[in-house]
């Protein structure tokens, strides 16, 4: 680094993006030459897992380095407490220029009420007063937690964000997905194309012959689509940073709402890929009885009671799956083109040699695994395994790849370690810099995934709650309130078809996995706060 300056960080994150939907992770069709270039010059993590397979909990884990059960964002619908320390805030306090361009989703974006509500007081019992209704009192500044709400971002809005926002001094905000993205994007789009609401949604779509759920050919042109907005604003930030002297290091998060559904890639990206060319997952046609959760989804498809228009998983048919796969590839290639422009800008401004480039996503997507679409409380690998690529500054020695058992929980510690900063007390992840540098796996050898969902699944009252443990060979999932679980041998059965939970021949493995899960849960109990005396 020149003059001892700390490294810059360009942190690229997509939304709902499977690890195997990148060229550098082995996808046979999707074109991602720019992201592949990042991997070719850096370290690719092959066994990288989420802390939760849901947006808000895993994004909160990313910025805090703490598990969902610890930072409190257990499921979508719970904003991250602004009193929580984030690694971005720590970078900011050590002199970094911090910027977020794109999606945050650390707060609620929609205006719909929750599925879960406070239980009614029992008959004959006096209700708790407002300030004692919850075990821990909430931050009373409610306005801070409504900044991402769509009501603030209508055309003509003059809403101003309360900065710093979880450590970010500069924010160009995007909320939502597909061609219905809101936030600052809404105001930008209207400025570029007055009457822009007439370009959005299926009611304004261009003609097309796809019939799958949440699939329409957006009327928004390529240059005005959210991916282009985020790319342009990222380039604008870098130009401004350089023009301002570039004396401080920067941490810049470039956060894409795609390839999350709805499936609305614009222009040439719509028909860039042919559904007929898509390779259906092997598990789609597996002639094996599924777990009760998957059977529930299949039954709803067969009796017509499934809902395919929201965020919840559903069972799909092959034609619609192929369409979704092809359109997902289109969205990913558009992202890759944007990444290419940003990498070229780093080179143009002379910043690339001093900038660490990171690529990841918040969680995966089922995309046909076991005939399922989207995401939900079922932990197949397409949902829980995500890409993580680290390309260091010029001259740094890095391994080309690693199969270290690692995950989103480790990102905060890794960034702080590389920046030479002591983390805050209570951070739970570990630095991955040893593995990036080529050392053998230094971790615990297992990853714990927590998930809770307030939506109704499997004919059970919410919350749906499950914990998963992944080791090099096995995946074990335990469902709260159920007398069944899942156990798969990931080497002999990589498609996770044969559930070994009740197999007497694997009773020993099940016991070992349950003990390992218990020990990993103990290791991730919150150490914060420190004691103030000996008692």
**Residue-by-residue DSSP string for 192-215:** HSTTGGGGSSGGGPBP----STTB
103 by Cβ neighbours in 10 Å (0-12 / 13-18 / 19+) ranks as buried
Q: Is residue 435 part of a domain?
A: yes
Look at residue 247 in the predicted model and tell me its pLDDT: 94
Identify the band that residue 273 occupies on the pLDDT scale cut at 50, 70 and 90: very high
State yes or no: pLDDT of 372 exceeds 80. yes
Cα-Cα end-to-end distance for the chain: 48
**How many domains are there within the chain?**
1
Look at residue 288 in the predicted model and tell me its pLDDT: 92
Identify the band that residue 114 occupies on the pLDDT scale cut at 50, 70 and 90: confident
Look at residue 462 in the predicted model and tell me its pLDDT: 76
Look at residue 1 in the predicted model and tell me its pLDDT: 52
Q: Is residue 490 part of a domain?
A: no
Q: Which helix (H) or strand (E) holds 48?
A: strand 48-49
Range of the domain at 261: 8-111+145-444
Q: In sequence order, what are the residues at sequence separation of 6 or more whose Cβ sits closer than 8 angstroms to the Cβ of residue 285? A: none
8 Å CB contact between 468 and 374? no
8 Å CB contact between 407 and 447? yes
Q: Is residue 501 part of a domain?
A: no
Look at residue 283 in the predicted model and tell me its pLDDT: 97
pLDDT (tens digit per residue) in 231-261: 999 999 999 999 999 999 999 999 999 999 9
User: How long a stretch of residues is the chain?
Assistant: 535
Identify the band that residue 454 occupies on the pLDDT scale cut at 50, 70 and 90: confident
Look at residue 130 in the predicted model and tell me its pLDDT: 84
What are the backbone dihedrals phi and psi of residue 361, each rounded to the nearest 5 degrees, phi first? -145, 170
For residue 476, CA distances in Å to 39, 178, 312 come to 30, 34, 23
What's the CA gap between 293 and 378, in Å, rounded?
8
pLDDT more than 90, % of the chain: 88
Look at residue 259 in the predicted model and tell me its pLDDT: 98
| Residue among 10, 65, 17 nearest 42 (CA) | 10
Q: In sequence order, what are the residues at sequence separation of 6 or more whose Cβ sits closer than 8 angstroms to the Cβ of residue 2? A: 354
8 Å CB contact between 145 and 79? yes
What's the CA gap between 533 and 158, in Å, rounded?
49
Look over the chain and give the mean of its residue pLDDT values, rounded to a whole number. Answer: 95
What's the CA gap between 264 and 217, in Å, rounded?
6
Over residues 270-291, mean pLDDT: 96
Identify the band that residue 133 occupies on the pLDDT scale cut at 50, 70 and 90: confident
Burial letters 121-132, b for 16+ CB under 10 A, else e? eeeeeeeeeeee
Look at residue 115 in the predicted model and tell me its pLDDT: 75
8 Å CB contact between 36 and 392? no
What are the backbone dihedrals phi and psi of residue 483, each rounded to the nearest 5 degrees, phi first? -95, 10
Look at residue 75 in the predicted model and tell me its pLDDT: 93
Q: In sequence order, what are the residues at sequence separation of 6 or more whose Cβ sits closer than 8 angstroms to the Cβ of residue 311? A: 76, 374, 375, 455
Look at residue 5 in the predicted model and tell me its pLDDT: 84
Least confident of 273-277, 369-373, 481-485: 481-485
pLDDT (tens digit per residue) in 375-417: 999 999 999 999 999 999 999 999 999 999 999 999 999 999 9
8 Å CB contact between 29 and 273? yes
Look at residue 527 in the predicted model and tell me its pLDDT: 93
3-class secondary structure, 412:
helix
pLDDT more than 70, % of the chain: 99
| Residue among 124, 21, 109 nearest 330 (CA) | 21
Q: Is residue 3 part of a domain?
A: no
State yes or no: pLDDT of 208 exceeds 90. yes
pLDDT (tens digit per residue) in 139-161: 767 889 999 999 999 999 999 99
Q: Is residue 440 part of a domain?
A: yes
| pTM beyond 0.95, yes or no | yes
What's the CA gap between 183 and 155, in Å, rounded?
10
State yes or no: pLDDT of 476 exceeds 70. yes
Q: Is residue 500 part of a domain?
A: no
CATH of the domain at 60: 3.40.720.10
Q: Is residue 340 part of a domain?
A: yes
Q: In sequence order, what are the residues at sequence separation of 6 or more whose Cβ sits closer than 8 angstroms to the Cβ of residue 312? A: 374, 376, 455, 457
8 Å CB contact between 361 and 15? yes
pLDDT (tens digit per residue) in 45-93: 999 999 999 999 999 999 999 999 999 999 999 999 999 999 999 999 9
Burial letters 2-41, b for 16+ CB under 10 A, else e? eeeebbbbbbbbbbbbbbbbbbbbebeebbbebbbbbbee
Look at residue 309 in the predicted model and tell me its pLDDT: 92
pLDDT (tens digit per residue) in 328-360: 999 999 999 999 999 999 999 999 999 999 999
3-class secondary structure, 463:
coil
State yes or no: pLDDT of 3 exceeds 60. no
8 Å CB contact between 415 and 387? no
What's the CA gap between 469 and 109, in Å, rounded?
30
State yes or no: pLDDT of 41 exceeds 60. yes
Higher pLDDT, 458 or 326: 326
Identify the band that residue 116 occupies on the pLDDT scale cut at 50, 70 and 90: confident
Q: Is residue 217 part of a domain?
A: yes
Least confident of 451-460, 482-491, 517-526: 451-460
For residue 250, CA distances in Å to 5, 152, 236, 371 come to 11, 28, 14, 43
């Amino acid at each position: 680094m020149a003059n001892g300056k700390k490294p810059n960080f360009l942190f690229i994150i997509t939304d709902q993006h499977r690890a195997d939907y990148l060229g550098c992770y082995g996808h046979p069709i999707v074109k991602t030459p720019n992201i592949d270039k990042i991997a070719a010059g850096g370290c690719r993590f092959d066994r990288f897992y989420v802390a939760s397979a849901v947006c808000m909990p895993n994004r909160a884990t990313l910025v805090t380095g703490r598990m969902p059960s610890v930072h409190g964002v257990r499921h979508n619908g719970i904003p991250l407490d602004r009193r929580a320390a984030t690694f971005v805030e720590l970078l900011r306090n050590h002199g970094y220029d911090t910027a977020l361009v794109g999606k945050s989703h650390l707060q609620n974006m929609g205006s719909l009420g929750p599925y879960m509500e406070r239980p009614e007081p029992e008959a004959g019992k006096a209700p708790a007063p407002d300030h004692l209704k919850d075990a821990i009192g909430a931050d009373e500044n409610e306005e801070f937690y409504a900044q991402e709400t769509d009501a603030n971002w209508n055309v003509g809005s003059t809403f101003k964000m309360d900065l710093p926002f979880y450590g970010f001094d500069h924010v160009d905000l995007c909320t939502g997905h597909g061609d219905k993205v809101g936030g600052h994007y809404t105001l930008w789009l209207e400025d570029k194309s007055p009457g822009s609401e007439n370009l959005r949604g299926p009611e304004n779509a261009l003609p097309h012959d796809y019939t799958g759920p949440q699939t329409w050919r957006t009327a928004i042109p390529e240059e005005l689509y959210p991916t282009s907005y985020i790319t342009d604003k990222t380039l604008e930030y870098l130009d401004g940073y350089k023009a301002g002297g570039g004396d401080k290091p920067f941490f810049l998060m470039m956060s894409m709402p795609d390839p999350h559904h709805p499936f609305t890639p614009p222009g040439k990206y719509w028909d860039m890929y042919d559904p007929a060319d898509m390779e259906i997952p092997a598990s789609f046609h597996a002639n094996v009885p599924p777990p009760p959760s998957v059977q529930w989804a299949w039954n709803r498809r067969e009796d017509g009671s499934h809902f395919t228009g929201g965020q919840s998983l559903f069972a799909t048919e092959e034609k619609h799956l192929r369409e979704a796969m092809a359109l997902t590839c289109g969205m990913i290639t558009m992202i890759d083109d944007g990444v290419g422009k940003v990498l070229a800008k780093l080179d143009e401004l002379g910043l690339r040699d001093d900038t660490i480039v990171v690529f990841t996503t918040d969680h995966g997507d089922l995309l046909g695994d076991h005939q399922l679409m989207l995401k939900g409380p079922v932990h197949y690998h397409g949902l829980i395994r995500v890409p993580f690529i680290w390309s260091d500054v010029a001259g740094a020695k890095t391994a080309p790849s690693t199969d270290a058992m690692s995950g989103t929980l480790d990102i905060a510690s890794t960034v702080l370690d590389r920046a030479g900063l002591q983390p805050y007390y209570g951070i739970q992840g570990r630095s991955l810099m040893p593995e990036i540098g080529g050392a053998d796996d230094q971790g615990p050898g297992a990853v714990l995934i927590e998930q809770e969902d307030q939506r109704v699944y499997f004919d059970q009252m919410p919350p749906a709650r499950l914990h998963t443990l992944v080791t090099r060979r096995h995946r074990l999932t335990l469902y709260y309130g159920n007398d069944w679980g899942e156990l798969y041998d990931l080497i002999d059965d990589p498609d996770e078809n044969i559930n070994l939970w009740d197999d007497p021949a694997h009773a020993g493995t099940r016991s070992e996995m349950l003990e390992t899960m218990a020990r990993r849960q103990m290791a991730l109990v919150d150490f914060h706060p420190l004691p103030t005396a000996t008692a």
